[in-house]
Structure 1
């Protein structure tokens, strides 16, 4: 459940504002539209697109395909591999947009320690809306059966100062427009690709 009071009273910003390399994390449960939005933002801004799913081990992918939720032990090397890639991109001044579930605060915090100027876009929606989307998508290893565990594992990020909420219900082009408004405001992007 979204903490609307905390959202209304906080002033969202970015993490690591002194960094010259930008990172946009598009987070949410499976089926919320992370990859779609992250790819769109990558195209618009000329940022490298990374999908956190690509950093999972074959073992973790096989477990999820069997509708077996991952443990923290499974996620630990996954988050470490993503962080290492982000640090490499930071060293090369490669701006990045990452599609990342971000279910656990400790994992979000670990990626913040990569040191990039970080803006987090949280795709928030009901289980019914997102479940309907998952039923209609193809070629994805994450089954609808894991949606309950995704919602149960999601630690509310709305009190974190670099997190900005986006409602998943509008058409994709409207969500992209809203996301661009936040990127332009908080990451000081002067030009788009």
Structure 2
């Protein structure tokens, strides 16, 4: 497989961080928690229950794209998390050097809500789930990626993703 960046995407509570961390460990690739690259202003806005707009997200998406390109320049594939809710956001991420492949985690909505409610010390409140679901644009046929529509545990999801990736090579 050439240099590939796997972007684990989806709405809050879908399991992005857990699955992406496990994928990175299994593949031996660097991992970036996309939320860590949000500005403090973005975090404060989300903590207050205010959805981010495209202007808020633009520098964040550019930082994620640049992180992937830095990995590619160093000869590394990578795994990162990003909600990547809109095709336009994914277009920015695809500007990174190397192939960008999206893994859209789409478990049942009630499971997302339960997971968010169970979180402690996270700035993304459950009240923003509806706005994320409204903003979500499914992967288009021409976008490299896969959708995982299951509430299965992280290890099972990782196995599904790895099997799918193996079929691509």
**TM-score range relative to shorter protein:** over 0.9
Structure showing greater radius of gyration is: 1
Return the offset for 1:151.
Answer: 0.3
Q: Does the CA contact (< 8 Å) of 1:31 and 1:133 recur in 2?
A: yes
RMSD (Å), alpha carbons: 1.4
Cα distance change of structure 1 residues 136 and 160 upon mapping to structure 2, 3 Å threshold = farther
Return the offset for 1:157.
Answer: 1.3
Return the offset for 1:108.
Answer: 0.4
> Within 5 Å, which residues of 2 pair with 1:104-115?
104-115=86-97
* Structure 1 partner of 2:115: 133
Give the SS at the match of 1:98. strand
Q: Does the CA contact (< 8 Å) of 1:63 and 1:69 recur in 2?
A: yes
* Structure 2 partner of 1:142: 124
* Alpha-carbon distance between aligned partners in 2 of 1:80 and 1:161, rounded to the nearest angstrom: 19
Return the offset for 1:21.
Answer: 1.4
Q: Does the CA contact (< 8 Å) of 2:16 and 2:105 recur in 1?
A: yes
* Structure 1 segments of 4+ aligned residues over 4 angstroms from their partners: none
Return the offset for 1:158.
Answer: 4.5
Structure 1 stretches lacking a partner, 5+ long: 1-16, 189-193
TM-score of the superposed pair, with normalisation by structure 2? 0.94
1:74-118 per-position Cα deviation (integer Å, ceiling 9, x unaligned): 001111111111111111111100111001111101111113122
* More off after superposition, 80-89 vs 160-169: 160-169
Give the SS at the match of 2:85. coil
> Within 5 Å, which residues of 2 pair with 1:36-185?
36-185=18-167
Structure 2 stretches lacking a partner, 5+ long: none
TM-score of the superposed pair, with normalisation by structure 1? 0.83
Q: Does the CA contact (< 8 Å) of 1:23 and 1:96 recur in 2?
A: yes
